[in-house]
Structure 1
Amino acid sequence: MSEVFWHNLKIEEIEKIQRTSLKEGLSEKEIEIRQREFGKNEIPEEKTSSNFSLFLSQFKHLFIIILLFAVLLSLVFHQFLDALAIFLVLLFNAFLGFYQERKAIKILEELKKILKIEAKVIREGRERIIDARELVPGDLILLSAGDKVPADARVIESQNLTVNEMILTGEFWPSLKHTEVLPEDTPLADRENMVYMGTTIEEGRGKAIVVGTGQNTEIGKIAKLAQKEEKRLTPLQRKIKKFTIQVAILVLFFVLIVFIIGLQREELRKNLFLLFETVVALAVSSIPEGLPIAITVTLALGAQRILRKQGLIRKLASVETLGSTTVICTDKTLTLTEGKMKVQKIVGDEFLAIKFALLCTEAFIENSKDPKEKWKIVGRPTEKAILEKAIEIGLNKKEFEKDLIYFLPFSPRYKFSLAIYREGNQKNLYYLGAPEKLLEFLDTPEKEKLKKGLNALLEEGYRVVGAGYLPGIEKEKILPEEIFNLRLKFAGFLALSDTLRPGVKEAIKTCQMANILPVIVTGDHKLTAKAVAKELGLKIEEENILEGRDLEKIDEEKLKEKLKEIKIFARVEPIHKSKIVSLFQEKGEVVAMTGDGVNDAPALRKADIGVALGSGSEVAKEASDLVLLNDSFEVIVKAVREGRRILDNVRKTILFMCTECFTEILLVLGAFLAKLPLPVLPIQILWKNFVEGSPQGIAFAFEPEEKEIMERKPENPKVPLLTKEIVYLFLFGGILTDIILFLMFWFLHNQGLAIEKLRTFCFAGFAFGSFCYAFSCKNFRKNIWEYNPFSNKVLNLTLTLGMILLLFSIYFPPFQVLLKTVPLGIYEWIFLIVFGLINLVLFEAVKYFLKKSS
């Protein structure tokens, strides 16, 4: 069925198409038929995962699958203890991820409004109130101030019907509705004869014919479009996937070499089970089984910290993405600004201009008996701003009310309001309204000068109202048409704008310091957006602004070239926002998109990180990765800081866990090549990894953020998890210490040390060496003397407990039996302490040379 442009049809045509009556509405029988045809008037929601499927989703990552294979391998070779240990680790990791994501879902469910929306309709000639979900196309709906529009409808009667459509169009200013036919190509934001589901009636009354319900409404279409947008893997997910494949290939390669060399050993050919057991133990231990937990804990802790700062992370993997963000595409209204008008400038006498303007307003303080800080001002946005300014300069509207003779409320038709007050023995007329109208009524030789001043304010993006007066008027009542015969005196131009949110200016500066590009993407006029940008401290020229209509005209390749100059996209529609996100992504940028309206949902879904306001639409929240519970832009910057900290901590964990995991495989390989006995037993390898390796690796999740973290450039998404620093530290720090431990093993073996003591020495050497270089893993960019090595209390605790357990495993008889260890003497401990210090020195030396070379 082709699209019907309801705004382009006459009311009589719509009545005929919808088979309804403008007086009687629909019959009950017809309603039943249409409800079966069109279904409930509900916005389609994305199907939420069940608890079971959410839990199972924690096992879909490649690293987890490899570890599940390790469990299977352990079971095949009857290593039941190993299999149980790995499975418990995976189970704990799954529960942790499930808990965090389920918690986010619950918080979002609590944020949803539980109030049932009702609709006033005319059916069979009678007015009635029904559940809005029961509406069908063809229904006649009645609208009044304060109502939520329950469906898309064509206006057939309007009595000053004014609608706030910001949730759909992004426009802050309310739309005055009429019944006239509009051109077919009229943009959505300018369809003044239509009302749309989810918008709010601010003033007046009206009647309309429902033309769209449920998924056929504009909001429904956008919700459906948002669900179709596929979410890309986050930079961290892509990096972990690549890293996992690299580790798997490396482990398989080394394990095969160990197995082939082991087959050349006569004693191992005779004891194939020991060889298989050793190979399986090496394979299992070489995969850092604690890494999934460490990453999940790191992400979960980051999500908790962001939540304490009023940001709700919906998906754990999204936390790190914030740290890689290079572009933030942000809406203007309610994201950068408060959605609240304020008088910013006054041309003319400030006191008189505000006083005369105040006398022509209907705004009032609802709870004037309460303390001033709790006052609630009610009225139109412009009039509320005037009253607030009047209070600020010490004017009290109540003092003048007793002298009011006549009041003509603001009318969109005439675009002004009038008031006559008695002052002493005379009556004075006051005017508040459109400044261009005021200029027509003025009696002054400075009219041209005032016109230039007005244009200057308009070019700065201000909304301007004019205040004028006429003292000594004879009449006590004036009709709107009569003012054209009067000559007023000029009191002032009041320039208003939407006020910036507290902390936003500082947040934008922090973004720039962190080399993140902030881009304003708004449905507002370019002058309004430009004024806000300048107030934020952004340098904006004409070449830095692009309007939505131009996005369709400019060639895509030229657009990509021009993209680096654009700081404001104005007059954009939903489809434009998604295109803007795509253009930045095609240039390799990691894009965060903020928004609150239904119109933002597709772009939020498409962006690498979608950021929705807590006060925004449910459709936007469902499409987002991060919800700002207090609507503050500051939270984004705090989340970016957390994201960078998280990526740092993930890398520290990887360096520590991979270095200590590969130590065992390299030592066994060296022993096989040198035809020496097994330096460690399988049970010792697994004990060391699970008890004296994984806890310390997980402890890096609690590592404090590094200084100057927000002064670094955002990381290129193509940079792997194994950075140059990690590779060098692993090669020249980790492998060199492995060689030193092997040489110690070879030396002590030649000295005739018993094989049990030798294996205990190597077992202790693995643990003690890793405890020492753990302090080096705390910072890749600085040496240990440039930071506090004991700043992480959790790491200190796990290292202390690890050392206690190491001593227990060597000197406590039950552990000696389990792990086949024997007590070490002072001679062996001297070697171990020297080895530990060598570990630390080598790691610090590599860091020092890396720092000098860079």
Structure 2
Amino acid sequence: MTHIDAGAELDPVHPVPIPRGKPSPGLTAAEVARRVARGEVNDVPVRSSRSTVDIIRANVFTRFNAIIGVLWLIMLFVAPFQDSLFGYVILANTGIGIIQELRAKKTLDSLALIGEARPTVRRDGVTAEISTSEIVLGDLIEIGPGDKIVVDGAVAEADGLEIDESLLTGEADPVVKNPGDQVMSGSFVVAGGGAFTAVKVGREAYAAQLAEEASRFTLVHSELRTGISTILKYVTWMMIPTALGLIISQLADETDDSGFKDALARTVGGIVPMVPEGLVLLTSVAFAIGVIRLGRKQCLVQELPAIEGLARVDTVCLDKTGTLTEGGMDVTEVRALDGADGTYVRKVLGALGESDPRPNASLQAIIDAYPDSDEWRCTESLPFSSARKYSGASFSEGNGESSSWLLGAPDVLLPDGHPTLAETEQLNEQGLRVLLLTRAVRELDDPELTHGARPTALVVLEQRLRPDAADTLRYFADQNVRAKVISGDNAVSVGAVAAKLGVPGAENTLDARQLPQARPEMAQVLDDHTVFGRVTPQQKRDMVGALQSRGHTVAMTGDGVNDVLALKDADIGVAMGSGSEASRAVAQIVLLNNSFATLPSVVAEGRRVIGNITRVATLFLVKTVYSVLLAIMVVCAQVEYPFLPRHLTLLSTLTIGVPAFFLALAPNKERAQPHFVRRVMRYAIPGGILAATATFATYLLARHHYTGPDELDAETSAATLTLFLIAMWVLAIIARPYTWWRIGLVAAMGTGFLLVLVVPWLQHFFALKLVGTTMPWGAVAIAAVAAAALEFLWRWVGRRFPA
């Protein structure tokens, strides 16, 4: 072993010479205290969500809140209290949005704390796990396979240490690190072990600088949010000229103070409903409540739009070990080969287990079955690598002899056609995992190490299937989500496990060494097969890319270092909480309870969000379309705008605001569909056109029907009745398919409007009073015709322009 003085100040560009000797004890408590006092601490906050300030700013300082706020202030001074109610609704909406996002933040932060990496630091000669924020400059940090490099440093000790820097540099091949070499935060260990000294901490570290440029909160693409942003952009451009025209037409001829105030109130009444102010709120609330619901199931959503992303997935790539099977294994049998002595074989296995300070699941099972007797001394070791698929060690035996041993995949360690492979194949067909112990005849650093190795024993391991894996796979099959099992294990063994779980096509398992290199050909093979064995880490990444090239939305699940590249490239990466730190770091979703059965809940939550927001977005945008068209008609006809702000506040609350909140949070199992903007606008535009046309027709008829001093109030009431009935029909369509609570919701909104029409003080408060019977029933008739046309048109649009 080699070491570096942990207390020395290091220059990362020109590492100091590395003295040889016993391992460094690390910093002393006094040295740690001095560094903390100087502020040399890794104080970068873990950001699993937006900060409180960002949440408040995002909910308060919006384009539409600014518009509504200005109009609200005007109404507070020139109109009765009833006409400024829309401002209080906006305050309530904003408050709800902030509270829900803060609740989601609390859930995210608490779960992130559970899943946070805890590096092993050596201080005063003692190792201990600490939080990443407690690391100080000069700390000696021990690392092994799967560990993420949390700060920049210089290697102090190395034992076959290989580090993958592909997430930082794009270089796919692992880099061998020797004492004195640099390591960068954000990379991770794929093989071997050692220790490094922290030379850059906090915001000076490389990964921290990258994090400053791209917050983890918004890395996942969200078609929902992008679509809403697109809609709001066009709404803004429509509003500006329409609102200016309305202001000019309503205020041009008003000279006295009373007339001016009334015209101003009606102008504001025309502008306010153009703003789909609740749409962004409900999207944020739906995401936030989704995070809270999943958090209760120990599912950490590191990036909120990942909930939506997984709902759009049509292909799930599953790593077998740790996903379909539990992490632990049991040794069921050791078969000595060529007359090898069983007692001697068990000593070799015990020594191999002792030689690796960070054993994987297979080696841990061997350690549990055959503890080391301390008679042998390890002189050199070759850590396990997913790319090599074997590990090795050299020993000085108790009798003074030396030997070298390899333990790994039989089909990698043996040449094709070797008779032992037939025996291995039979065991693999039973779903058992088989490792081969061979005696090496070459040095461990020899490129031809496996050549000439003598087979000594087969180690038979039994994997524990996850009890919930079969049900979860059936769920995906029922939802038309294709499952692809890709594993580094022997193809026959993987196929047997997949068959036990009922995976379609498991009998036609393919060895990934037969996969074509070209992406189009690989994509075709992936479409034709379901289960793959002997997949290398780079191949997993290539397979994800090949599936994406065919237009598939791909989720990748895994828990090991060999899954990291594929997890990063997949549309959605899902890691197990007990998996390697590197896999958790790059995944968008972490299953802290290590339960594969949680995935259906995540898919269902995503579908609920997408389906429900699509529904309520149609409600909001129908209102925007009819508001813009009504304003244009009023300008063209040069008449008073038919509504005061209080009328549209009442309509918006009963036909959009309250029902949209319940519909946005309701269960919804519809499969997520693409083209959000097109799906929403194909219904919103015809609905808005019909509503505006029917309402304006009622208003014009009422202007000819009524005479007298209260004619404008009567005309407004008739127009309001027509608009309410059409908006209620839109709500009734959106609420389908009906359940008892959906019917009750629609009925409750209708009852609310009826109370306003029959209760005298509510009539006065909202300035609504139906005069006579002819015009009110005429308004109902016009609304009925418009509703029938709307029903026909929406059905026709659904058939003619499917999403």
TM class by shorter chain equals 0.5 to 0.7
Given that 2:286 and 2:664 are in contact with CA atoms closer than 8 Å, whether structure 1 keeps it comes out as: yes
CA distance in 2, matches of 1:207, 1:311: 30
SS at the partner of 1:821?
coil
Given that 1:58 and 1:94 are in contact with CA atoms closer than 8 Å, whether structure 2 keeps it comes out as: yes
Change (3 A) 1:222 1:316: closer
How far does the alpha carbon of each residue in 1:831-853 deviate from its partner, in whole angstroms, 9 at most, with x for none?
A: 45545554553343234334554
Offset of residue 777 of structure 1: 1.0
Matching of residue 790 in structure 1 with residue 739 in structure 2: yes
Change (3 A) 1:321 1:844: same
Residue-pair matches, total: 705
Matching of residue 757 in structure 1 with residue 742 in structure 2: no
2:730 corresponding residue in structure 1 = 773
Offset of residue 243 of structure 1: 1.2
Identity %: 19
1:403 corresponding residue in structure 2 = none
How far does the alpha carbon of each residue in 1:387-412 deviate from its partner, in whole angstroms, 9 at most, with x for none?
A: 99x9xxxxxx9xxxxxxxx9999997
How far does the alpha carbon of each residue in 1:62-97 deviate from its partner, in whole angstroms, 9 at most, with x for none?
A: xx3223223224435646825732540452243134
How far does the alpha carbon of each residue in 1:395-449 deviate from its partner, in whole angstroms, 9 at most, with x for none?
A: xx9xxxxxxxx9999997699x9xxxxxxxxxxxxxxx97999xxxxxxxxx986
SS at the partner of 2:616?
helix
Between stretches 221-230 and 640-649, larger displacement belongs to 221-230
Residue identity opposite 2:225 in structure 1: Q
SS at the partner of 1:570?
coil
Change (3 A) 1:520 1:56: farther
Residue identity opposite 1:720 in structure 2: F
Residue identity opposite 1:319 in structure 2: I
| Residue in structure 2 matching 1:679, options 624, 634, 642 | 642
1:705 corresponding residue in structure 2 = 668
Residue identity opposite 2:717 in structure 1: T
2:88 corresponding residue in structure 1 = 85
Matching of residue 501 in structure 1 with residue 466 in structure 2: yes
Given that 2:157 and 2:178 are in contact with CA atoms closer than 8 Å, whether structure 1 keeps it comes out as: no
Residue identity opposite 1:101 in structure 2: A
CA distance in 2, matches of 1:298, 1:679: 34
Given that 2:320 and 2:486 are in contact with CA atoms closer than 8 Å, whether structure 1 keeps it comes out as: yes
Change (3 A) 1:18 1:284: same
How far does the alpha carbon of each residue in 1:228-274 deviate from its partner, in whole angstroms, 9 at most, with x for none?
A: 66725422111111111122223335434545655787999995554
Residue identity opposite 1:464 in structure 2: V
Between stretches 315-324 and 280-289, larger displacement belongs to 315-324
Matching of residue 241 in structure 1 with residue 229 in structure 2: yes
CA distance in 1, matches of 2:704, 2:158: 102
Change (3 A) 1:664 1:809: farther
Matching of residue 657 in structure 1 with residue 620 in structure 2: yes
Offset of residue 686 of structure 1: 2.9
Offset of residue 310 of structure 1: 3.9
**How does 1:449-528 map onto structure 2 within 5 Å?**
452-454=422-424, 457=427, 463-464=433-434, 495-496=460-461, 498-511=463-476, 514-516=479-481, 518=483
How far does the alpha carbon of each residue in 1:761-785 deviate from its partner, in whole angstroms, 9 at most, with x for none?
A: 2223322332233121134xxxxxx
Change (3 A) 1:770 1:526: same
SS at the partner of 1:321?
helix
Offset of residue 529 of structure 1: 6.5
2:17 corresponding residue in structure 1 = 17
CA distance in 2, matches of 1:818, 1:121: 76
TM-score, with normalisation over the residues of structure 2? Answer: 0.67
Between stretches 269-278 and 675-684, larger displacement belongs to 269-278
Between stretches 283-292 and 815-824, larger displacement belongs to 815-824
Offset of residue 650 of structure 1: 0.9
Given that 1:168 and 1:597 are in contact with CA atoms closer than 8 Å, whether structure 2 keeps it comes out as: no
Given that 1:287 and 1:661 are in contact with CA atoms closer than 8 Å, whether structure 2 keeps it comes out as: yes
| Residue in structure 1 matching 2:608, options 645, 648, 656 | 645
Change (3 A) 1:259 1:654: same
SS at the partner of 1:290?
helix
Given that 1:294 and 1:698 are in contact with CA atoms closer than 8 Å, whether structure 2 keeps it comes out as: yes
1:103 corresponding residue in structure 2 = 106
Residue identity opposite 1:56 in structure 2: R
CA distance in 2, matches of 1:526, 1:16: 47
SS at the partner of 1:631?
coil
Change (3 A) 1:79 1:298: farther
**How does 1:391-470 map onto structure 2 within 5 Å?**
452-454=422-424, 457=427, 463-464=433-434
How far does the alpha carbon of each residue in 1:310-339 deviate from its partner, in whole angstroms, 9 at most, with x for none?
A: 423345444323222345455544234322
Change (3 A) 1:841 1:628: farther
SS at the partner of 2:750?
helix
2:448 corresponding residue in structure 1 = none
2:325 corresponding residue in structure 1 = 337
SS at the partner of 1:848?
helix
**How does 1:55-66 map onto structure 2 within 5 Å?**
55-59=56-60, 64-66=62-64
Change (3 A) 1:776 1:838: farther
CA distance in 2, matches of 1:666, 1:656: 16
| Residue in structure 1 matching 2:593, options 630, 650, 660 | 630
Change (3 A) 1:532 1:138: same
CA distance in 1, matches of 2:179, 2:470: 35
Residue identity opposite 1:751 in structure 2: H
1:480 corresponding residue in structure 2 = none
Residue identity opposite 1:812 in structure 2: V
Given that 2:718 and 2:770 are in contact with CA atoms closer than 8 Å, whether structure 1 keeps it comes out as: no
SS at the partner of 1:715?
coil
Given that 1:67 and 1:86 are in contact with CA atoms closer than 8 Å, whether structure 2 keeps it comes out as: no
Given that 2:729 and 2:787 are in contact with CA atoms closer than 8 Å, whether structure 1 keeps it comes out as: yes
Q: Is the radius of gyration larger for structure 1 or structure 2?
A: 1
Residue identity opposite 1:17 in structure 2: P
TM-score, with normalisation over the residues of structure 1? Answer: 0.64
How far does the alpha carbon of each residue in 1:446-493 deviate from its partner, in whole angstroms, 9 at most, with x for none?
A: x986553235657999642689xxxxxxxxxxxxxxxxxxxxxx9x96
CA distance in 2, matches of 1:528, 1:195: 40
Change (3 A) 1:113 1:49: closer
| Residue in structure 2 matching 1:844, options 759, 784, 791 | 791
Matching of residue 319 in structure 1 with residue 282 in structure 2: no
1:119 corresponding residue in structure 2 = 122
CA distance in 2, matches of 1:680, 1:212: 71
Residue identity opposite 1:71 in structure 2: G
Change (3 A) 1:801 1:817: same
Matching of residue 213 in structure 1 with residue 169 in structure 2: no
Residue identity opposite 1:744 in structure 2: T
How far does the alpha carbon of each residue in 1:582-623 deviate from its partner, in whole angstroms, 9 at most, with x for none?
A: 787787654544454678778767765443433346676565
Given that 1:465 and 1:494 are in contact with CA atoms closer than 8 Å, whether structure 2 keeps it comes out as: yes
Change (3 A) 1:291 1:816: same
CA distance in 1, matches of 2:698, 2:175: 78
Offset of residue 649 of structure 1: 0.9
CA distance in 1, matches of 2:95, 2:429: 60
Q: Extract unaligned runs of 5+ from structure 1.
A: 5-13, 171-184, 349-353, 363-378, 391-396, 398-405, 418-432, 438-446, 468-489, 780-786
| Residue in structure 2 matching 1:803, options 750, 757, 760 | 750
Offset of residue 102 of structure 1: 1.7
| Residue in structure 1 matching 2:274, options 274, 277, 286 | 286
Given that 2:325 and 2:464 are in contact with CA atoms closer than 8 Å, whether structure 1 keeps it comes out as: yes
Residue identity opposite 1:18 in structure 2: I
2:403 corresponding residue in structure 1 = none
| Residue in structure 2 matching 1:251, options 208, 214, 239 | 239
CA distance in 2, matches of 1:194, 1:462: 41
1:67 corresponding residue in structure 2 = 65
CA distance in 1, matches of 2:619, 2:234: 17
**How does 1:688-703 map onto structure 2 within 5 Å?**
688-690=651-653, 692-703=655-666
CA distance in 1, matches of 2:56, 2:150: 37
How far does the alpha carbon of each residue in 1:633-671 deviate from its partner, in whole angstroms, 9 at most, with x for none?
A: 332233123212321111111222222344344345445
CA distance in 1, matches of 2:493, 2:361: 16
CA distance in 1, matches of 2:321, 2:220: 27
Matching of residue 715 in structure 1 with residue 715 in structure 2: no
SS at the partner of 2:327?
strand
Given that 2:328 and 2:463 are in contact with CA atoms closer than 8 Å, whether structure 1 keeps it comes out as: yes
Between stretches 74-83 and 578-587, larger displacement belongs to 578-587
Residue identity opposite 2:63 in structure 1: I
* CA RMSD between the two structures: 6.2
